[in-house]
Amino acid sequence: YLGGDLETSTLPNGVVVATTAPGAPLTCVGVGVGRGASHGPRSAALAASLNSFKTANGRTDLRIQRDLEVAGSMPYSSFDAHQTTTVCTQHVVTREAPCVAEAFQAAALAAGVGRDSLTAWEFEETKASPFALNALASHASLEEQVASAAYGKAYSPLGSAEDLAALSSAEVDAWLQEAMSSAPITAIGLGMEHAVMVSLAQTVLGELAERPSASAEKFPSFQAGGVVAISGDAGCAIGVPAPADEAMALTVASAVGGSLSQGLVVVTGEDKEACTAQLNAIGDVALAKVAAASDLLDLAPEALAALIARGQDPAALYDAILALDDAAISAAHASATSSAPAAVIAA
């Protein structure tokens, strides 16, 4: 997918259509919605994601997912603090085949476009399912915990068991309705001809209300020196504010052997001393550039779709990483680690 240029258009109502790599053997079609964990009731984004391909508009979840499976599609829904991305990937013979249109319609419906209310009993059942428990476990990572330390009480965690249990289906219905009425929406087509994707988007999304094409993604103010104590043997994590430039942020994270998470460069280790040493000891910046660019090549289609929905051009980002000046990377690392005290999780 990184071999093609990103092409974008905007429908009259403000919905953005983005495509790349027409002719790729695997298509990924879907929508990105500018609403995530930082919007609405806590854990609403998690609940909406868990219920995205559940019963809707008179079709059971079994029927929806069986029809997608027959068409060769795999559904995915993911979210972060600012955005939810719902897509279907599939191998296709022609991009104009009915199955592609059906996959896009299914992804849009799952995201909330034109869907009726969530089924209350199914909603409650899903909250207690292994899928929900797995999602909660993945969002209870050290990276998520250090974000809470970095941003304090203003930060909305991606998901917690207590918040999820307290949510009602009506609250998530309202969250989805608000998103469909005014949130930025991007129609994504990896492996799709742009004109075909524009036509699909106009058919499925063209009647939505007018909306902004993008919104600023802002995390709360960084709380220097914030500490969250955790029990057990989970280890330690330290986070500092990431550089504003995406290419630079990914490269600095790679240079310290860490990750880019929730607007932070995060390193994890056995204890605070080990994490601090790792954060301060920048590695070979030339190798870091190659590693950061290579990580883009390894992204799954659904992860690339989420990146595009955030307004990033994967191919341009790849080139920007490799074009970074080594001295500028070292300076960005020094700025991140010296001007802002770390947020820490201590076991």
Q: Quick one: average pLDDT of 5-29? A: 91
- Residue 79 has which token pair? 């979210």
CA distance 298 to 76: 17
Helix (H, G, I), strand (E, B) or coil at 273: helix
CA distance 144 to 147: 5
Q: What is the model's pTM?
A: 0.90
Cα–Cα distances (Å) from 258 to 79, 225, 242, 330, 341, in that order, read: 21, 19, 11, 15, 17
Give pLDDT, residue 26. 81
The winner for highest mean pLDDT among 49-58, 90-99, 216-225, 262-271 is 49-58
Determine which of 113-117, 128-132, 197-201, 327-331 has the lowest per-residue pLDDT on average. Answer: 128-132
Determine which of 134-143, 294-303, 337-346 has the lowest per-residue pLDDT on average. Answer: 337-346
Give pLDDT, residue 12. 97
CA distance 172 to 266: 31
Q: Which amino acid is at 111?
A: A
Q: Are strands 16-20 and 185-190 parallel, antiparallel or unpaired?
A: parallel
Residue 77 scores a pLDDT above 80 = yes
- Torsional sign, CA 82, 319, 321, 21: positive
Give pLDDT, residue 112. 95
In this predicted model, what pLDDT tens digit does every residue of 136-170 receive, in sequence order? 887 777 778 888 888 888 888 888 889 999 999 99
Give pLDDT, residue 1. 65
- What DSSP character marks residue 32? E
How many CB atoms neighbour CB 160 within 10 A?
A: 17
Using an 8 Å Cβ cutoff, are 318 and 4 in contact? no
Nearest in space to 103 (alpha carbons), one of 51, 48, 27, 47: 27
Q: At what angle do helices 326-338 and 246-255 cross, to 10 degrees?
A: 80
Determine which of 208-212, 274-278, 281-285, 326-330 has the lowest per-residue pLDDT on average. Answer: 274-278
Q: Quick one: average pLDDT of 118-132? A: 92
DSSP 139-172: TTSHHHHHHHHHHGGG---S--HHHHHH--HHHH
- Residue 347 has which token pair? 């076991």
- Torsional sign, CA 90, 95, 97, 103: positive
Q: How many degrees, rounded to 5, is the angle at CA 129 between CA 82 and CA 301?
A: 45
Of the chain, the percentage scoring pLDDT greater than 90 comes to 57
Q: Quick one: average pLDDT of 305-309? A: 93
DSSP 127-139: HTSHHHHHHHHHT
Give pLDDT, residue 268. 86
CA distance 200 to 142: 40
In this predicted model, what pLDDT tens digit does every residue of 220-251 receive, in sequence order? 888 877 666 554 556 788 889 999 999 999 99
Give pLDDT, residue 195. 94
Give pLDDT, residue 223. 82
- Taking only Cα atoms into account, the Rg of the chain, rounded to an integer number of angstroms, comes to 20
Residue 95 scores a pLDDT above 60 = no
Residue 201 scores a pLDDT above 80 = yes
Give pLDDT, residue 233. 58
Give pLDDT, residue 75. 92
Give pLDDT, residue 166. 94
Residue 200 CB-half CA count within 13 A: 30
CA distance 259 to 250: 8
DSSP 57-101: TTB-HHHHHHHHHHTTEEEEEEE-SS-EEEEEEEE-S-TTSHHHH
Query: Which pLDDT band, with edges at 50, 70 and 90, does 3 fall under?
Result: low
- Residue 199 has which token pair? 């036509």
CA distance 323 to 190: 25
CA distance 90 to 244: 34
Using an 8 Å Cβ cutoff, are 32 and 186 in contact? yes
